Amino acid sequence: MKAQWPAWQPLNVRAAPSAEFSVDRSRHLMSFLTMMGPSPDWNVGLSAEDLCTKECGWAQRVVQDLIPWDAGTDSGVSYEAPNNPTSPLDKIRPLTSLDHPQSPFYDPEGGAITSVARVIVERIARKGEQCNIVPDNVDDIVADIAQEEKEEDDTPETCIYSNWSPWSACSSATCEKGKRMRQRMLKAQLDLSVPCPHTQDFEPCMGPGCNASTCMMSEWITWSPCSVSCGTGTRSRERYVKQFPDDGSVCTLPTQENENCVVNEDCCNCLVTEWGEWDVCSATCGLGMKRRERMVKMPPADGSICGAEVLEVEKCMMPECHTIPCLLTPWSEWSDCSVTCGKGLRTRQRMLKSPVELGECTEELEQVEKCMLPECPIDCIMSDWTEWSECNKSCGKGHTIRTRIVTMEPQFGGDSCTETIQRKKCKIRKCSRGQANSDEKRRRKEQREKQRSKQGRVESASEHPGCRMRPWSSWTECTKLCGGGIQERLMTVKQKFKTAQLSSCKDRKEIRACNVQPC
Protein backbone atom coordinates (compact mmCIF):
# COMPACT_ATOMS: atom_id res chain seq x y z
CA MET A 1 0.00 0.00 0.00
CA LYS A 2 1.12 3.58 -0.50
CA ALA A 3 3.09 5.21 2.32
CA GLN A 4 2.10 8.29 4.31
CA TRP A 5 5.56 9.91 4.18
CA PRO A 6 5.97 12.10 6.05
CA ALA A 7 3.13 11.10 8.35
CA TRP A 8 -0.13 12.99 7.91
CA GLN A 9 -3.62 12.81 9.36
CA PRO A 10 -6.30 11.86 6.78
CA LEU A 11 -9.55 13.82 6.92
CA ASN A 12 -11.58 10.63 7.17
CA VAL A 13 -11.28 6.85 6.89
CA ARG A 14 -11.96 6.87 3.15
CA ALA A 15 -8.95 9.17 2.55
CA ALA A 16 -6.53 6.94 4.49
CA PRO A 17 -4.19 4.53 2.61
CA SER A 18 -5.72 1.08 2.24
CA ALA A 19 -5.00 -2.36 0.79
CA GLU A 20 -6.98 -5.53 0.11
CA PHE A 21 -5.95 -9.06 1.04
CA SER A 22 -7.49 -12.53 1.24
CA VAL A 23 -7.74 -15.03 4.07
CA ASP A 24 -8.73 -18.69 4.23
CA ARG A 25 -9.04 -21.49 6.77
CA SER A 26 -5.26 -22.09 6.92
CA ARG A 27 -4.16 -18.43 6.63
CA HIS A 28 -6.31 -16.31 8.91
CA LEU A 29 -3.75 -14.41 11.05
CA MET A 30 -2.96 -10.87 9.87
CA SER A 31 0.34 -9.09 10.65
CA PHE A 32 1.69 -5.81 9.32
CA LEU A 33 4.33 -3.20 10.17
CA THR A 34 4.83 0.39 9.06
CA MET A 35 7.49 2.91 10.09
CA MET A 36 6.63 6.37 11.42
CA GLY A 37 8.38 9.20 9.61
CA PRO A 38 10.23 11.17 10.54
CA SER A 39 11.40 9.24 13.61
CA PRO A 40 14.54 7.37 14.80
CA ASP A 41 13.19 3.83 14.25
CA TRP A 42 9.63 3.99 15.59
CA ASN A 43 6.83 1.97 14.01
CA VAL A 44 3.29 0.70 14.50
CA GLY A 45 1.69 -2.59 13.51
CA LEU A 46 -0.22 -5.70 14.49
CA SER A 47 1.03 -9.23 15.06
CA ALA A 48 -1.09 -12.35 14.41
CA GLU A 49 -4.50 -10.65 14.56
CA ASP A 50 -7.00 -13.54 14.17
CA LEU A 51 -9.78 -12.71 11.68
CA CYS A 52 -11.58 -16.01 12.40
CA THR A 53 -14.51 -15.87 14.86
CA LYS A 54 -15.31 -18.45 17.53
CA GLU A 55 -18.41 -19.40 15.51
CA CYS A 56 -16.17 -20.47 12.58
CA GLY A 57 -16.97 -17.37 10.53
CA TRP A 58 -15.08 -14.23 9.53
CA ALA A 59 -14.82 -10.98 11.48
CA GLN A 60 -16.92 -8.25 9.86
CA ARG A 61 -14.95 -5.29 11.29
CA VAL A 62 -11.87 -4.93 13.51
CA VAL A 63 -10.70 -1.55 14.87
CA GLN A 64 -7.38 -1.28 16.73
CA ASP A 65 -5.66 1.81 18.13
CA LEU A 66 -1.88 1.46 17.88
CA ILE A 67 0.96 2.70 20.10
CA PRO A 68 4.50 3.19 18.78
CA TRP A 69 7.21 0.54 19.05
CA ASP A 70 11.02 0.93 19.06
CA ALA A 71 12.84 -1.27 16.51
CA GLY A 72 16.08 -1.24 18.54
CA THR A 73 18.28 0.09 15.72
CA ASP A 74 18.51 3.80 16.64
CA SER A 75 18.81 5.49 20.04
CA GLY A 76 17.11 8.81 19.18
CA VAL A 77 14.57 10.14 21.69
CA SER A 78 12.54 12.57 19.54
CA TYR A 79 10.89 12.62 16.10
CA GLU A 80 13.72 14.56 14.40
CA ALA A 81 16.66 13.34 16.50
CA PRO A 82 19.95 12.91 14.55
CA ASN A 83 21.04 9.39 13.58
CA ASN A 84 22.44 7.56 16.61
CA PRO A 85 22.78 3.82 15.77
CA THR A 86 22.17 1.45 18.70
CA SER A 87 25.12 -0.89 19.30
CA PRO A 88 24.56 -3.66 20.01
CA LEU A 89 21.06 -3.82 18.57
CA ASP A 90 18.15 -4.04 21.05
CA LYS A 91 15.03 -6.18 20.73
CA ILE A 92 11.88 -4.55 19.39
CA ARG A 93 9.77 -3.21 22.27
CA PRO A 94 6.84 -0.85 22.86
CA LEU A 95 7.70 2.73 23.78
CA THR A 96 6.66 3.81 27.27
CA SER A 97 5.88 7.14 28.89
CA LEU A 98 9.01 6.86 31.09
CA ASP A 99 11.66 6.23 28.42
CA HIS A 100 13.24 9.71 28.38
CA PRO A 101 12.23 13.21 29.57
CA GLN A 102 12.77 14.57 26.04
CA SER A 103 10.49 11.97 24.46
CA PRO A 104 7.20 13.34 23.01
CA PHE A 105 5.43 10.55 24.95
CA TYR A 106 7.07 11.33 28.34
CA ASP A 107 4.81 11.37 31.41
CA PRO A 108 6.55 11.72 34.81
CA GLU A 109 3.63 9.86 36.42
CA GLY A 110 4.15 6.86 34.12
CA GLY A 111 0.66 6.89 32.62
CA ALA A 112 -0.46 4.93 29.55
CA ILE A 113 1.12 6.09 26.29
CA THR A 114 -1.16 7.86 23.80
CA SER A 115 -2.03 5.92 20.63
CA VAL A 116 -0.65 7.42 17.40
CA ALA A 117 -2.50 5.45 14.71
CA ARG A 118 -5.64 3.43 14.05
CA VAL A 119 -6.12 0.48 11.71
CA ILE A 120 -9.55 -0.62 10.49
CA VAL A 121 -10.03 -4.05 8.92
CA GLU A 122 -13.36 -4.58 7.15
CA ARG A 123 -14.62 -7.65 5.35
CA ILE A 124 -15.70 -6.63 1.86
CA ALA A 125 -16.54 -9.99 0.23
CA ARG A 126 -16.88 -13.69 0.90
CA LYS A 127 -15.78 -16.65 -1.23
CA GLY A 128 -18.08 -19.69 -1.21
CA GLU A 129 -21.16 -20.35 0.87
CA GLN A 130 -20.91 -20.33 4.67
CA CYS A 131 -23.54 -20.96 7.29
CA ASN A 132 -24.70 -18.57 10.00
CA ILE A 133 -23.15 -15.47 8.44
CA VAL A 134 -25.13 -12.39 7.48
CA PRO A 135 -24.75 -11.74 3.72
CA ASP A 136 -22.69 -8.75 2.60
CA ASN A 137 -24.65 -5.57 1.98
CA VAL A 138 -24.73 -3.77 -1.37
CA ASP A 139 -22.04 -1.27 -0.31
CA ASP A 140 -19.64 -4.15 0.38
CA ILE A 141 -20.43 -5.69 -3.02
CA VAL A 142 -19.82 -2.42 -4.89
CA ALA A 143 -16.52 -1.91 -3.09
CA ASP A 144 -15.39 -5.44 -3.95
CA ILE A 145 -16.21 -5.39 -7.66
CA ALA A 146 -14.37 -2.11 -8.24
CA GLN A 147 -11.34 -3.26 -10.23
CA GLU A 148 -9.60 0.09 -10.56
CA GLU A 149 -8.11 1.53 -7.39
CA LYS A 150 -8.77 5.09 -6.44
CA GLU A 151 -5.48 6.91 -6.53
CA GLU A 152 -4.54 9.18 -3.65
CA ASP A 153 -5.98 12.68 -4.07
CA ASP A 154 -3.11 14.76 -5.45
CA THR A 155 -5.08 17.99 -5.88
CA PRO A 156 -2.63 20.93 -5.70
CA GLU A 157 -3.06 23.31 -2.78
CA THR A 158 -3.19 26.23 -5.25
CA CYS A 159 -6.51 24.99 -6.66
CA ILE A 160 -9.73 26.07 -4.89
CA TYR A 161 -12.81 23.95 -5.75
CA SER A 162 -16.49 24.02 -4.88
CA ASN A 163 -18.05 21.09 -3.02
CA TRP A 164 -18.80 17.91 -5.00
CA SER A 165 -22.23 17.67 -6.57
CA PRO A 166 -24.52 14.72 -5.68
CA TRP A 167 -23.83 11.43 -7.50
CA SER A 168 -25.62 10.90 -10.80
CA ALA A 169 -27.85 7.89 -11.51
CA CYS A 170 -26.08 4.60 -12.30
CA SER A 171 -25.28 4.12 -16.00
CA SER A 172 -26.66 0.54 -15.86
CA ALA A 173 -30.44 0.18 -16.11
CA THR A 174 -30.32 -3.54 -15.18
CA CYS A 175 -28.78 -5.47 -12.30
CA GLU A 176 -25.30 -5.10 -13.75
CA LYS A 177 -22.16 -3.22 -12.89
CA GLY A 178 -22.16 0.42 -14.08
CA LYS A 179 -20.70 3.80 -13.23
CA ARG A 180 -21.97 7.01 -11.73
CA MET A 181 -20.47 10.51 -11.82
CA ARG A 182 -20.17 13.65 -9.72
CA GLN A 183 -18.68 17.08 -10.55
CA ARG A 184 -17.19 20.14 -8.90
CA MET A 185 -16.34 23.66 -10.08
CA LEU A 186 -12.91 25.30 -10.12
CA LYS A 187 -13.40 28.52 -8.11
CA ALA A 188 -9.82 29.88 -8.10
CA GLN A 189 -6.39 28.96 -9.50
CA LEU A 190 -3.75 30.64 -7.32
CA ASP A 191 -0.79 29.55 -9.48
CA LEU A 192 -1.40 29.52 -13.25
CA SER A 193 1.70 27.38 -13.83
CA VAL A 194 0.14 24.50 -11.84
CA PRO A 195 -2.80 22.76 -13.59
CA CYS A 196 -6.00 22.05 -11.65
CA PRO A 197 -7.30 18.53 -12.54
CA HIS A 198 -10.07 16.33 -11.15
CA THR A 199 -13.25 18.29 -11.77
CA GLN A 200 -15.07 14.98 -12.40
CA ASP A 201 -15.10 11.78 -10.33
CA PHE A 202 -16.42 8.30 -11.21
CA GLU A 203 -17.15 5.22 -9.12
CA PRO A 204 -18.70 1.79 -9.82
CA CYS A 205 -22.36 1.15 -9.02
CA MET A 206 -25.03 -1.50 -9.39
CA GLY A 207 -28.05 -0.84 -11.59
CA PRO A 208 -31.55 -0.42 -10.16
CA GLY A 209 -32.68 -3.77 -11.58
CA CYS A 210 -31.31 -5.66 -8.54
CA ASN A 211 -34.12 -7.00 -6.39
CA ALA A 212 -34.53 -9.18 -3.36
CA SER A 213 -34.55 -12.45 -5.35
CA THR A 214 -31.34 -11.66 -7.29
CA CYS A 215 -28.38 -13.99 -6.82
CA MET A 216 -25.27 -11.84 -7.16
CA MET A 217 -22.06 -13.54 -8.28
CA SER A 218 -18.44 -12.35 -8.18
CA GLU A 219 -16.20 -12.09 -11.24
CA TRP A 220 -14.48 -15.32 -12.30
CA ILE A 221 -11.19 -15.96 -10.48
CA THR A 222 -8.05 -16.68 -12.54
CA TRP A 223 -7.75 -20.11 -14.19
CA SER A 224 -5.95 -22.77 -12.18
CA PRO A 225 -2.75 -24.39 -13.58
CA CYS A 226 -3.24 -27.19 -16.08
CA SER A 227 -3.66 -30.60 -14.46
CA VAL A 228 -0.76 -32.04 -16.49
CA SER A 229 2.71 -30.77 -17.34
CA CYS A 230 2.72 -32.52 -20.67
CA GLY A 231 -0.06 -33.10 -23.14
CA THR A 232 -3.79 -32.45 -22.72
CA GLY A 233 -5.35 -31.89 -19.31
CA THR A 234 -8.00 -29.74 -17.66
CA ARG A 235 -8.09 -26.52 -15.72
CA SER A 236 -10.78 -24.79 -13.72
CA ARG A 237 -11.78 -21.44 -12.37
CA GLU A 238 -14.21 -20.41 -9.66
CA ARG A 239 -16.46 -17.61 -8.61
CA TYR A 240 -18.45 -17.19 -5.46
CA VAL A 241 -21.84 -15.94 -4.32
CA LYS A 242 -21.66 -12.28 -3.32
CA GLN A 243 -25.33 -11.87 -2.35
CA PHE A 244 -27.88 -14.56 -1.58
CA PRO A 245 -31.57 -13.97 -2.42
CA ASP A 246 -33.51 -12.45 0.47
CA ASP A 247 -36.37 -14.89 -0.10
CA GLY A 248 -34.16 -17.82 0.96
CA SER A 249 -34.03 -19.47 -2.48
CA VAL A 250 -30.90 -21.32 -3.59
CA CYS A 251 -28.46 -19.84 -6.12
CA THR A 252 -28.50 -22.12 -9.19
CA LEU A 253 -25.78 -20.28 -11.12
CA PRO A 254 -22.57 -22.34 -11.47
CA THR A 255 -19.64 -21.48 -9.17
CA GLN A 256 -17.05 -23.55 -11.09
CA GLU A 257 -16.09 -23.80 -14.76
CA ASN A 258 -13.78 -26.36 -16.41
CA GLU A 259 -12.03 -26.46 -19.79
CA ASN A 260 -9.36 -28.46 -21.53
CA CYS A 261 -5.76 -27.26 -21.69
CA VAL A 262 -2.67 -28.38 -23.63
CA VAL A 263 0.88 -28.14 -22.28
CA ASN A 264 4.02 -28.86 -24.33
CA GLU A 265 2.47 -30.57 -27.33
CA ASP A 266 5.91 -31.88 -28.40
CA CYS A 267 5.92 -34.36 -25.50
CA CYS A 268 2.61 -35.96 -26.34
CA ASN A 269 4.33 -39.11 -27.55
CA CYS A 270 5.92 -39.51 -24.09
CA LEU A 271 3.51 -41.17 -21.64
CA VAL A 272 4.13 -40.77 -17.89
CA THR A 273 2.44 -42.05 -14.73
CA GLU A 274 0.57 -39.89 -12.23
CA TRP A 275 2.66 -38.11 -9.62
CA GLY A 276 3.48 -40.15 -6.52
CA GLU A 277 2.98 -38.99 -2.95
CA TRP A 278 5.26 -36.33 -1.50
CA ASP A 279 8.21 -37.65 0.52
CA VAL A 280 8.61 -36.77 4.19
CA CYS A 281 10.10 -33.28 4.75
CA SER A 282 13.89 -33.38 4.96
CA ALA A 283 13.85 -31.36 8.19
CA THR A 284 12.21 -32.21 11.51
CA CYS A 285 11.97 -28.56 12.43
CA GLY A 286 12.26 -25.32 10.52
CA LEU A 287 12.65 -25.10 6.74
CA GLY A 288 13.29 -28.24 4.68
CA MET A 289 12.65 -29.78 1.26
CA LYS A 290 10.32 -32.50 -0.01
CA ARG A 291 10.09 -34.27 -3.36
CA ARG A 292 7.83 -36.48 -5.44
CA GLU A 293 8.41 -38.53 -8.58
CA ARG A 294 6.63 -40.15 -11.48
CA MET A 295 7.73 -42.73 -14.06
CA VAL A 296 7.95 -42.72 -17.86
CA LYS A 297 5.44 -45.33 -19.07
CA MET A 298 6.28 -45.08 -22.76
CA PRO A 299 9.21 -43.14 -24.27
CA PRO A 300 8.86 -41.37 -27.63
CA ALA A 301 8.63 -43.75 -30.60
CA ASP A 302 11.52 -42.00 -32.36
CA GLY A 303 13.91 -42.85 -29.50
CA SER A 304 14.35 -39.25 -28.38
CA ILE A 305 14.61 -38.25 -24.73
CA CYS A 306 11.30 -37.75 -22.91
CA GLY A 307 10.89 -34.05 -22.12
CA ALA A 308 8.32 -34.50 -19.37
CA GLU A 309 9.31 -33.64 -15.80
CA VAL A 310 9.69 -36.73 -13.64
CA LEU A 311 10.84 -35.01 -10.41
CA GLU A 312 9.37 -32.14 -8.44
CA VAL A 313 10.98 -30.49 -5.40
CA GLU A 314 9.46 -27.82 -3.16
CA LYS A 315 10.06 -26.27 0.23
CA CYS A 316 8.33 -27.48 3.36
CA MET A 317 8.01 -25.81 6.74
CA MET A 318 8.03 -27.80 9.98
CA PRO A 319 7.45 -26.40 13.51
CA GLU A 320 10.09 -23.94 14.63
CA CYS A 321 13.18 -25.59 16.06
CA HIS A 322 13.38 -25.73 19.87
CA THR A 323 9.71 -24.82 20.23
CA ILE A 324 8.81 -28.18 21.77
CA PRO A 325 11.18 -28.06 24.79
CA CYS A 326 10.49 -24.36 25.35
CA LEU A 327 7.01 -24.28 26.86
CA LEU A 328 6.98 -20.99 28.77
CA THR A 329 4.58 -19.18 31.04
CA PRO A 330 3.45 -15.67 30.00
CA TRP A 331 5.66 -12.77 31.02
CA SER A 332 4.97 -11.40 34.49
CA GLU A 333 4.10 -7.75 35.02
CA TRP A 334 7.03 -5.31 35.05
CA SER A 335 8.47 -4.77 38.52
CA ASP A 336 8.59 -1.35 40.15
CA CYS A 337 11.48 0.88 39.13
CA SER A 338 14.64 0.10 41.14
CA VAL A 339 14.90 3.74 42.26
CA THR A 340 12.47 6.27 43.68
CA CYS A 341 13.82 9.07 41.50
CA GLY A 342 16.05 9.45 38.45
CA LYS A 343 17.17 6.61 36.17
CA GLY A 344 16.75 2.98 37.21
CA LEU A 345 15.88 -0.50 35.96
CA ARG A 346 12.82 -2.73 36.07
CA THR A 347 12.50 -6.44 35.33
CA ARG A 348 9.98 -9.10 34.40
CA GLN A 349 10.26 -12.91 34.41
CA ARG A 350 8.69 -16.01 32.98
CA MET A 351 9.14 -19.67 33.87
CA LEU A 352 9.92 -22.84 31.93
CA LYS A 353 6.94 -25.22 32.04
CA SER A 354 8.27 -28.09 29.90
CA PRO A 355 10.42 -30.84 31.48
CA VAL A 356 14.19 -30.46 31.20
CA GLU A 357 14.36 -33.92 29.61
CA LEU A 358 12.89 -32.53 26.37
CA GLY A 359 16.03 -30.54 25.71
CA GLU A 360 17.79 -27.33 26.60
CA CYS A 361 15.75 -24.15 26.24
CA THR A 362 17.75 -21.09 25.14
CA GLU A 363 14.87 -18.60 25.41
CA GLU A 364 15.48 -15.78 27.92
CA LEU A 365 13.60 -16.07 31.20
CA GLU A 366 14.19 -12.51 32.43
CA GLN A 367 14.10 -9.15 30.71
CA VAL A 368 15.50 -5.87 32.01
CA GLU A 369 14.68 -2.40 30.71
CA LYS A 370 15.43 1.14 31.74
CA CYS A 371 12.90 3.24 33.64
CA MET A 372 12.86 6.98 34.30
CA LEU A 373 11.28 8.70 37.29
CA PRO A 374 11.39 12.44 38.12
CA GLU A 375 14.92 13.68 38.87
CA CYS A 376 16.21 13.29 42.45
CA PRO A 377 16.30 16.53 44.52
CA ILE A 378 19.77 18.02 45.05
CA ASP A 379 20.27 20.14 48.21
CA CYS A 380 22.22 23.38 48.31
CA ILE A 381 25.96 22.88 49.04
CA MET A 382 27.92 25.63 50.80
CA SER A 383 31.59 26.15 51.73
CA ASP A 384 32.87 26.19 55.32
CA TRP A 385 32.66 29.41 57.30
CA THR A 386 35.73 31.67 57.19
CA GLU A 387 37.43 32.79 60.42
CA TRP A 388 35.79 35.68 62.25
CA SER A 389 37.18 39.03 61.05
CA GLU A 390 38.76 41.56 63.40
CA CYS A 391 36.44 43.94 65.18
CA ASN A 392 35.67 46.92 62.97
CA LYS A 393 36.27 49.29 65.90
CA SER A 394 39.45 49.79 67.92
CA CYS A 395 37.45 50.94 70.89
CA GLY A 396 33.87 50.96 71.92
CA LYS A 397 31.15 48.75 70.44
CA GLY A 398 31.65 47.23 67.00
CA HIS A 399 30.99 44.01 65.12
CA THR A 400 32.89 41.18 63.48
CA ILE A 401 31.76 38.95 60.55
CA ARG A 402 32.40 35.64 58.89
CA THR A 403 31.27 34.47 55.43
CA ARG A 404 30.78 31.41 53.24
CA ILE A 405 29.82 30.91 49.58
CA VAL A 406 27.34 28.73 47.65
CA THR A 407 29.23 26.01 45.75
CA MET A 408 26.10 24.38 44.24
CA GLU A 409 22.61 25.80 43.85
CA PRO A 410 19.64 23.54 44.83
CA GLN A 411 17.97 21.60 41.99
CA PHE A 412 14.75 19.62 41.45
CA GLY A 413 13.17 20.80 44.73
CA GLY A 414 16.21 20.31 47.00
CA ASP A 415 16.76 22.22 50.25
CA SER A 416 17.42 25.93 49.64
CA CYS A 417 20.60 27.76 50.63
CA THR A 418 20.86 29.40 54.07
CA GLU A 419 22.70 32.58 55.08
CA THR A 420 26.12 33.37 53.63
CA ILE A 421 27.20 35.97 56.24
CA GLN A 422 27.01 36.11 60.02
CA ARG A 423 27.66 39.06 62.35
CA LYS A 424 28.31 39.26 66.09
CA LYS A 425 28.98 42.16 68.40
CA CYS A 426 32.44 42.94 69.72
CA LYS A 427 33.63 45.47 72.37
CA ILE A 428 37.29 46.26 72.84
CA ARG A 429 37.36 49.06 75.44
CA LYS A 430 35.69 52.34 76.08
CA CYS A 431 36.74 55.18 73.85
CA SER A 432 37.94 58.57 75.27
CA ARG A 433 37.01 61.74 73.46
CA GLY A 434 38.96 62.26 70.26
CA GLN A 435 40.57 58.95 70.69
CA ALA A 436 38.26 56.99 68.47
CA ASN A 437 39.47 58.53 65.21
CA SER A 438 43.16 58.45 66.13
CA ASP A 439 42.86 54.92 67.47
CA GLU A 440 41.13 53.84 64.29
CA LYS A 441 43.89 55.29 62.08
CA ARG A 442 46.58 53.71 64.25
CA ARG A 443 44.78 50.37 64.19
CA ARG A 444 44.56 50.40 60.39
CA LYS A 445 48.25 51.33 60.06
CA GLU A 446 49.28 48.55 62.45
CA GLN A 447 47.08 46.09 60.54
CA ARG A 448 48.70 46.98 57.19
CA GLU A 449 52.20 46.63 58.66
CA LYS A 450 51.23 43.36 60.28
CA GLN A 451 49.79 42.07 56.99
CA ARG A 452 52.95 43.01 55.05
CA SER A 453 55.13 41.41 57.74
CA LYS A 454 53.02 38.27 57.66
CA GLN A 455 53.20 38.08 53.87
CA GLY A 456 57.00 38.45 54.02
CA ARG A 457 57.24 35.67 56.58
CA VAL A 458 55.01 33.35 54.52
CA GLU A 459 56.98 34.00 51.37
CA SER A 460 60.33 33.48 53.10
CA ALA A 461 59.06 30.43 54.93
CA SER A 462 57.78 28.99 51.69
CA GLU A 463 61.33 28.85 50.38
CA HIS A 464 62.56 26.51 53.11
CA PRO A 465 60.64 23.25 52.39
CA GLY A 466 62.42 23.00 49.03
CA CYS A 467 60.20 25.24 46.88
CA ARG A 468 60.56 28.61 45.28
CA MET A 469 57.19 30.32 45.11
CA ARG A 470 55.89 33.06 42.85
CA PRO A 471 54.64 36.26 44.53
CA TRP A 472 51.06 36.44 45.73
CA SER A 473 48.58 37.33 42.98
CA SER A 474 46.34 40.37 43.26
CA TRP A 475 43.18 40.04 45.34
CA THR A 476 40.11 39.13 43.27
CA GLU A 477 37.14 41.46 43.15
CA CYS A 478 34.82 41.25 46.13
CA THR A 479 31.93 38.85 45.57
CA LYS A 480 29.46 41.41 47.00
CA LEU A 481 29.20 45.22 46.91
CA CYS A 482 27.92 45.35 50.50
CA GLY A 483 26.79 43.15 53.32
CA GLY A 484 30.01 41.13 53.48
CA GLY A 485 31.71 39.30 50.64
CA ILE A 486 35.03 37.50 50.14
CA GLN A 487 38.23 37.94 48.13
CA GLU A 488 40.85 35.38 47.13
CA ARG A 489 44.49 35.43 46.06
CA LEU A 490 46.88 32.63 45.00
CA MET A 491 50.57 31.79 45.40
CA THR A 492 51.81 29.13 42.95
CA VAL A 493 55.00 26.99 42.94
CA LYS A 494 57.73 28.41 40.72
CA GLN A 495 60.44 25.79 41.26
CA LYS A 496 60.74 22.52 43.18
CA PHE A 497 64.12 21.40 44.57
CA LYS A 498 65.15 17.75 44.69
CA THR A 499 64.91 17.75 48.46
CA ALA A 500 61.34 19.04 48.37
CA GLN A 501 58.59 17.06 50.05
CA LEU A 502 55.42 16.55 48.01
CA SER A 503 53.16 17.40 50.91
CA SER A 504 54.82 20.74 51.67
CA CYS A 505 55.49 22.03 48.16
CA LYS A 506 52.12 23.01 46.69
CA ASP A 507 50.05 26.03 45.67
CA ARG A 508 48.48 28.22 48.37
CA LYS A 509 45.26 30.23 48.59
CA GLU A 510 44.15 32.98 50.99
CA ILE A 511 40.59 34.24 51.60
CA ARG A 512 39.56 37.47 53.36
CA ALA A 513 36.33 39.32 54.03
CA CYS A 514 35.47 42.50 52.11
CA ASN A 515 32.72 45.16 51.81
CA VAL A 516 31.46 44.36 55.29
CA GLN A 517 29.42 47.57 55.55
CA PRO A 518 25.63 47.00 55.70
CA CYS A 519 23.67 47.35 52.45
In this predicted structure, what is the pLDDT of residue 153?
Answer: 62
In this predicted structure, what is the pLDDT of residue 168?
Answer: 87
Say how far apart CA 384 and CA 166 lie, in whole Å.
85
Q: Does the structural domain 216-245+254-263 have CATH classification 2.40.160.210?
A: no
Residues sharing a CB contact under 8 Å with residue 204, sequence separation 6 or more, in sequence order: 142, 145, 146, 177, 178, 179
What pTM was computed for the model? 0.29
Does residue 339 sit in helix, strand or coil?
coil
Task: Give, in order, the Cα–Cα distances in Å from 57 to each of 47, 52, 99, 285, 457.
Answer: 20, 6, 41, 31, 102
Residue type, 93: R
Please name every residue paired with 372 in a beta bridge, in sequence order, or none if there are none. Answer: 343
Residues sharing a CB contact under 8 Å with residue 480, sequence separation 6 or more, in sequence order: 514, 515
Q: So where are the chain's domains? A: 29-122, 159-206, 216-245+254-263
pLDDT tens digit sequence for 3-18: 666 666 766 665 577 7
At 286, give phi and psi (nearest 5°). 80, -155
- In the predicted model, residues of the chain with pLDDT beneath 50 are 128-151, 212, 323, 457-464
Task: Give, in order, the Cα–Cα distances in Å from 424 to each of 89, 129, 392, 485, 513.
Answer: 65, 101, 11, 16, 14
Picking from 325, 321, 275, 266, the residue whose alpha carbon sits closest to that of residue 296 is 275
In this predicted structure, what is the pLDDT of residue 122?
Answer: 84
HSE, side-chain direction, 13 A CA sphere, residue 288: 16
In this predicted structure, what is the pLDDT of residue 50?
Answer: 92
Spell 239-270 as b/e; 16+ CB within 10 A means b: bbbbbbbeeeeebeeeeeeeeebebeeebebb
Task: Give, in order, the Cα–Cα distances in Å from 187 to each of 34, 404, 413.
Answer: 38, 76, 60
Say how far apart CA 66 and CA 47 lie, in whole Å.
11
Q: Which fold would CATH assign to domain 159-206?
A: TSP-1 type 1 repeat (2.20.100)
State the distance between the two ends of the chain, measured CA to CA, in whole angstroms.
75
Alpha helix locations (H) across 212-359?
A: none
In this predicted structure, what is the pLDDT of residue 484?
Answer: 76
